[in-house]
Amino acid sequence: MANGSIVQMALLLCFSTTALSMSYDVLQFQQRGSISACWTLIKQLNGTGHSCLQNTIDFKFPQEIQPQKFQKKEAMLVIHEMLQQIFDLFTRNFSSTGWNETIIEKLFGELNWQMDHLEAALVEIEKEDTFTWEKSTTRQLLQDYYSRIGKYLETKLYSRCAWIEVRRHILKNFSVLDKLIDLIFKN
Ligand SMILES: *[C@@H]1O[C@H](CO)[C@@H](O)[C@H](O)[C@H]1NC(C)=O
Ligand SMILES: *[C@@H]1O[C@H](CO)[C@@H](O)[C@H](O)[C@H]1NC(C)=O
Ligand SMILES: *[C@@H]1O[C@H](CO)[C@@H](O)[C@H](O)[C@H]1NC(C)=O
Ligand SMILES: *[C@@H]1O[C@H](CO)[C@@H](O)[C@H](O)[C@H]1NC(C)=O
């Protein structure tokens, strides 16, 4: 009986270690898939009609956001912040664009799903890493960047062309998310 429970315990430990490393693989796979799904959904928000004058707005994506520079935890927090900010942007008034609400709903679902999984993974590494995000300059730079985008939309009264410009920028910076995901799972 006693021996049986030791074996059980050993098996349990063995399985949970495997489960952890396996769940990291799964997490990477899921995160990649989710990033790509979000990209595709935003890409589908196109809308027909007149073309817009090519605006050349520079929202100044922070130069400091260089994926290779981040530790695992900070990279995860940067991804989370970017997803949250993108989410918040799409909760603004896009009625001028005629964008399909179903696609927006799917996008929200995907972003939420991904943020939930990042949060769960962050809890795991919380104990071993004392980095604090609250006071991070990276966080501030990101928030300022998305705040410039928000201000632009406000100033342009959420016009269709302003949204199209914003969407273009968001899509362009998805490459940063891809690089960050790669970084998280490197060793
Ligand atoms: C919008 O996207 C849909 C699906 O991705 C595509 O079928 C359609 O041709 C696109 N429309 C324009 C105007 O690009
Ligand atoms: C949303 O923006 C449009 C213009 O694009 C405006 O007509 C409408 O009143 C706005 N709706 C809200 C709830 O602010
Ligand atoms: C919106 O998108 C959904 C799913 O992608 C599609 O089934 C639906 O027909 C679209 N609605 C319009 C009005 O284009
Ligand atoms: C982010 O997008 C802007 C255009 O909005 C571009 O100038 C910049 O190079 C992009 N940054 C990265 C790292 O992809």
Q: What is the pLDDT of residues 75-93, one digit of tens each?
A: 889 999 999 999 999 999 9
Q: Is the pLDDT of residue 183 over 60?
A: yes
Structural domain boundaries enclosing 150: 30-185
For ligand 3, the distance from its centroid to the CA atom of residue 100, given in whole angstroms, is 6
Asked if residue 3 is part of any domain, the answer here is no
Q: In this predicted model, which residue has the larger pLDDT, 102 or 120?
A: 102
Q: Which residue minimizes the CA distance to atom 3 of ligand 1?
A: 44
Q: Is residue 21 part of a domain?
A: no
The ligand that comes nearest to the alpha carbon of residue 179 is 4
Locate the ligand 4 atom nearest the alpha carbon of residue 168 and give its number.
5
Contact 107, 36 (CB under 8 A): no
Structurally, how many domains does the chain consist of?
Answer: 1
In a domain, 13, yes or no: no
Specify the CATH number for the domain of residue 126: 1.20.1250.10
The closest ligand to the CA of 145 turns out to be: 4
Query: Does residue 116 sit within a domain?
Result: yes
In this prediction the pTM is 0.83
In a domain, 7, yes or no: no
pLDDT of residue 18: 45
Asked whether the beta carbons of 145 and 59 are under 8 A apart, the reply is: yes
Give the mean pLDDT of the chain: 84
Taking only the tens place, the pLDDT of each residue in 103-153 is 999 999 999 999 998 898 888 777 666 778 888 899 999 999 999 999 999
Q: Which residues have CB under 6 Å of ligand 2?
A: 93, 95-96, 157-159
In DSSP notation, 111-154 reads: HHHHHHHHHHHHHHHHTT----STT-HHHHHHHHHHHHHHHHHH
Residue 18 lies in a domain: no
CB 184 within 8 A of CB 117: no
The answer to whether residue 16 is domain-embedded is no
What pLDDT shows up at residue 55? 65
Q: Would you say residue 54 lies in a domain? A: yes
Quick check: 61 pLDDT over 90? Answer: yes
